[in-house]
């Protein structure tokens, strides 16, 4: 659905983005994460055909941004970070105005507007003036406008920015709903934890360069030098016994006992640890917990953009 190759934009001698390679399939929800000024908006604007690349290629549904911009605009819905609303229009009038610009006519237009108001849960505000909406409601109105022509691809630039906690939750739920509808979505954010539980793919960009492009799990594993297990026995008295047993294993680098559990740091490149659970059970140790320690997306981001992280 979306593919870019060596996508680059320069302003003078400065690179806004450099050699961006993406490959997203139908139904992917891609979290585009990076600090302000990293190149997220530039990339999305090029894909939306609102900005020409200096060199490189971008395709949407096999259409090139260079040769088929009109076809791409029919397939793409682009929602910028901030957008204006007309003060003298109600919510329904605002959407009907934009539906008319997409050449949706008559009963079909009214039906489409009503459907989108239901999708974004804004029907109760249909007769309110657009400029009286809260920030969260305005974002949902902008998303409804973006969906009017039923685009296959959505480019959402910082849709969570400036929202209060409740509005962020509502927007995340809406993103999940859109993903379930089969839309291919790029959603950008500098708020790292906000996208972790809604996206199936993550791209981390910094200073115009795509540092990583993979699933959330893969991105986290890329920055962890050692896999870490957290083991909690049913009997806390077994902690020392666990430490003694695992210290003898060639796959284990170190054990760090705590009050109720123990952190087991595996040696580099060790990924199979199933034998350790069997070892403990065979030695009569009951287990309440035996799992990998999670490294959050924020720590991965800091590591990949040369910040600090909890690397082993």
Instruction: Determine the pLDDT at residue 150.
Output: 93
Q: Are residues 56 and 153 both part of a single domain?
A: yes
Quote the CA–CA distance of 173 and 10 in Å, as a whole number.
36
d(CA 238, CA 42): 56
Output the pLDDT for position 251.
Answer: 93
Domain containing 104: what range? 2-222
> Is 25 a member of any domain?
yes
DSSP character string of 247-261: HT-TTEEEEEE-SS-
In order along its 312 residues, the chain shows pLDDT tens digits of: 899 999 999 999 999 999 999 999 988 999 998 888 899 999 999 999 999 999 999 999 999 999 999 999 999 999 998 888 888 899 999 999 999 999 999 999 999 999 999 999 999 999 999 999 998 899 999 999 999 999 999 999 988 887 888 888 888 888 888 888 889 999 998 766 677 778 889 898 989 999 888 887 777 666 666 788 999 999 988 899 999 999 999 999 999 988 899 999 998 878 789 999 999 999 999 999 999 886 666 666 666 665 444 433
Same domain? For 40 and 172 the reply is: yes
The answer to whether position 300 is within a domain reads no
- Whether this prediction's pTM lies above 0.85 is answered by no
State residue 212's pLDDT score. Answer: 80
Same domain, 120 and 262: no
Which helix H or strand E contains 241, and what residues bound it? helix 239-247
Q: What are phi and psi of 96, to 5 degrees?
A: -65, -35
Residues 136 and 281 in one domain: no
CATH number for the domain harbouring residue 114: 3.40.50.300
* 252 inside domain: yes
**Residue 271 exposed, middle or buried by CB count within 10 Å (0-12, 13-18, 19+):** exposed
Do 267 and 211 lie in a common domain? Answer: no
Is there a single domain that holds both residue 24 and residue 110? yes
Please enumerate in sequence order all residues whose Cβ is within 8 A of that of 165, keeping only pairs 6 or more positions apart, or say none: none
Same domain, 166 and 206: yes
197 and 148 in one domain?
yes
pLDDT of residue 209: 93
**Are 49 and 86 found together in one domain?**
yes
Tell me whether residue 94 is in a domain.
Answer: yes
Q: Note whether residue 249 is domain-resident.
A: yes
C-alpha to C-alpha distance for 202 and 212, rounded to whole angstroms: 8
Tokens of 23: 């490959």
Q: Which of 297, 299, 276 is nearest to 214 (CA)?
A: 297
Whether residue 213 sits in one domain with residue 103: yes
Determine if residue 44 is left, alpha or beta; phi over 0 gives left, psi from -120 to 50 gives alpha, anything else beta. alpha
Q: Which residues pair with 55 in a beta bridge?
A: 8
Q: What is the CATH classification number for the domain harbouring 248?
A: 3.30.70.100
Query: What is the domain count for the chain?
Result: 2
Contact in structure between 253 and 226 (CB atoms under 8 Å): yes
pLDDT at 285: 93
């Amino acid at each position: 659905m979306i593919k870019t190759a060596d996508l680059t934009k320069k302003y003078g001698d400065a690179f806004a983005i450099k050699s961006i390679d993406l490959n997203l399939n139908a139904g992917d929800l891609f979290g585009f994460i990076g600090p302000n000024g990293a190149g997220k908006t530039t990339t999305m604007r090029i894909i939306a055909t609102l900005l020409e690349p200096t060199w490189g290629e971008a395709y949407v549904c096999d259409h090139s941004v260079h040769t088929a911009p009109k076809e791409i605009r029919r397939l793409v819905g682009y929602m910028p970070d901030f957008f204006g609303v007309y003060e003298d229009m109600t919510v329904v009038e605002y959407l009907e105005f934009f539906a008319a610009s997409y050449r949706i006519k008559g009963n079909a237009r009214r039906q489409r507007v009503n459907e989108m108001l239901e999708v974004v849960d804004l029907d109760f505000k249909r007769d309110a003036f657009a400029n009286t909406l809260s920030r969260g409601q305005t974002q949902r109105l902008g998303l409804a406008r973006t969906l009017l022509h039923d685009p296959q691809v959505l480019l959402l630039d910082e849709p969570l920015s400036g929202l209060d906690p409740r509005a962020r939750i509502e927007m995340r739920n809406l993103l999940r709903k859109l993903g379930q509808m089969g839309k291919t979505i790029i959603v950008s954010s500098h708020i790292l934890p906000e996208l972790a539980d809604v996206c199936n793919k993550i791209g981390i960009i910094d200073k115009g360069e795509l540092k990583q492009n993979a699933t959330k799990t893969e991105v986290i594993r890329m920055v962890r030098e050692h896999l870490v297990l957290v083991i909690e026995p049913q009997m806390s008295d077994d902690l020392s016994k666990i430490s003694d047993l695992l210290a003898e294993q060639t796959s284990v680098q170190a054990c760090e006992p705590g009050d109720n559990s123990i952190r087991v740091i595996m040696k580099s490149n060790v990924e199979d640890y199933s034998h350790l659970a069997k070892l403990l059970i065979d030695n009569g140790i009951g287990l309440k917990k035996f799992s990998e320690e999670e490294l959050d997306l924020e720590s991965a981001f800091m590591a990949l953009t040369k910040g600090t992280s909890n690397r082993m």
